[in-house]
Amino acid sequence: MDKFVINGGAKLSGSISVSGAKNSALKILAATILSDQKCIINNFPFIEDTNNAIEILRNLGATVDVDKVKKMVIVNPVGINKTSLDSLLVRKLRSSILFAGPILAKFGQVEMKHPGGCVIGKRPIDLFLDGFEKLGAEVEFIDDGFRLKAKFGKLKGTNIFFPQITVTGTETMMMTAVLAEGKTILNNCAMEPEIPALADYLNKCGAKIKGAGSHTIEIEGVEKIHGSYFDVIPDRIEAGTFVVMGLATQSEIKIENCNPEHLGAFLPILQKAGARLEVGKDYIITKPSQMKAVSVVTHEYPGFATDLQSPYTLLMTQVQNQSIVHEAIFEGRLFFTDQLNSMGANIIMCDPHRVVVNGPTKLYGKKLTSPDLRAGITMVLAGMIAEGTTTIENIYQIDRGYENIEARLQKLGVDIKRITS
């Protein structure tokens, strides 16, 4: 297992470019199944999660050509000859559930193991199964998984009201309804930028989707869709994490190739806390700032993103006063704060959803283990501001979402190296 070793204390300078969004690329890969022709994806992030998603497509029979230099992937779904998802790959990638809808829509059936829980919370799939049933699928539970079959050979348009806002649930039902007969209306949809991006891609392929990016999405089913191309949108979570990195290290750095509008409530909250930021159309520059504590509650887009909660919690350990961080979406996403406390932070857990952060505190290098992707990158940031050496184990979790991260950070002046064992 690889690990990172970071010597803290360096001031950073220069610029860092944001990669294509993991949580957009994964959905486009799944959507390619619906097409009858090749699909070209540009600005593609080559990370563990997208590599596993490519393996899922190949295992189904699709041809996937990758060009890492051009950051391009070409998927030809024509050879797909299987309707059951490989169980090992399904276990590796929680978002493998995204592939079930397009297979069901195109081939009338699909079978997969339950994608399982993960450390950030239970991650149930009840809203997916309810949606598939409403679209006319029979759900049969089999040996730690499920089989879906379109009752009349083909899915039928319907009305779906999500009792709880779900990002991949919204995306899955939108993709599944593209080839259903008649009109589907999705209500109480998630509005994350990856959703209109997916709709734009599908519409370019010939789908008829209206309203993506709002709470109501209408999909007029079509017989088939063709291939197209897509430029993956910039990763808003990576951009937000780099903003925290600049602020927490009191450095002036330029975060390039991002879309600040996609950060929703995040930048206004940082500015309220005293962050000095220059925000352009596609860049953000951080400046050394005297910040004070501001409490936050994570919320669906455009609220404060749960995926930015962990770096923000770290930032609050470095500013004056007390804040409450309320993680409203996932029940397991604050446990990493134990490890920040081992470095010298003063964070009190009230319950699994809430912590009180007392700042400022000096952090000291420690041996840490990355529990999940977002907590893992936060530990990298903590290592940068700590005195001494920090070692982070289980960095597979960081590689799941951040491409070639150590090389990109080294260019800014971070003393980080990967130890491969």
Looking at the Cβ atoms of 14 and 124, the one nearer to ligand EPU is 124
d(CA 238, CA 358): 26
Q: Between residue 146 and residue 165, which ones bind ligand EPU under the rule CB under 6 A? A: 164
Q: Does 121 bind ligand EPU (CB under 6 A)?
A: yes
Closest distance of CB 237 from ligand EPU, Å: 6
* Region from 122-130, 220-228, 313-321, 338-346 binding ligand EPU, contact rule CB under 6 A: 122-130
Q: Which residues pair with 330 in a beta bridge?
A: none
Q: Does 383 bind ligand EPU (CB under 6 A)?
A: no
Out of 102, 169, 193, 234, the only residue in the binding site for ligand EPU (CB under 6 A) is: 169
Exactly one of 296, 308, 329, 382 binds ligand EPU (CB under 6 A); that residue is: 329
Select 12 or 368, whichever has its Cβ closest to ligand EPU.
368
Residues known to be catalytic: 118
Is residue 338 involved in binding ligand EPU (CB under 6 A)? no
Candidate residues 26, 29, 284, 294; the one interacting with ligand EPU per rule CB under 6 A: 26
Q: Does 373 help bind ligand EPU (rule: CB under 6 A)? A: yes
124 scored as a contact of ligand EPU (CB under 6 A)? yes
State the number of binding residues for ligand EPU (CB under 6 A): 23
- Min CB(129)–ligand EPU separation in Å: 8
Binding mask 86-105 for ligand EPU (x = CB under 6 A): ---------x----------
Per-residue string for binding with ligand EPU, 287-316, x by CB under 6 A? Answer: -------------------xx---------
In the complex, minimum distance from the CB of residue 300 to ligand EPU, in angstroms, rounded to a whole number: 7
Least Å distance, CB 70 to ligand EPU, is 24
Distance CA 280, CA 45 (A): 23
Q: Does 166 bind ligand EPU (CB under 6 A)?
A: yes
Is position 123 an interface residue for ligand EPU (rule: CB under 6 A)? yes
Among 36, 67, 126, 138, binds ligand EPU (CB under 6 A): 126
Among positions 19, 23, 32, 249, the unique one binding ligand EPU when judged by CB under 6 A: 23
Cis peptide before 302 (omega within 30 of 0): yes
Using the contact rule CB under 6 A, the part of the chain among 38-46, 123-131, 146-154, 277-285 near ligand EPU is: 123-131
What residues line the site for ligand EPU (CB under 6 A)?
23, 26, 95, 121-128, 164, 166-169, 190, 306-307, 329-330, 373-374
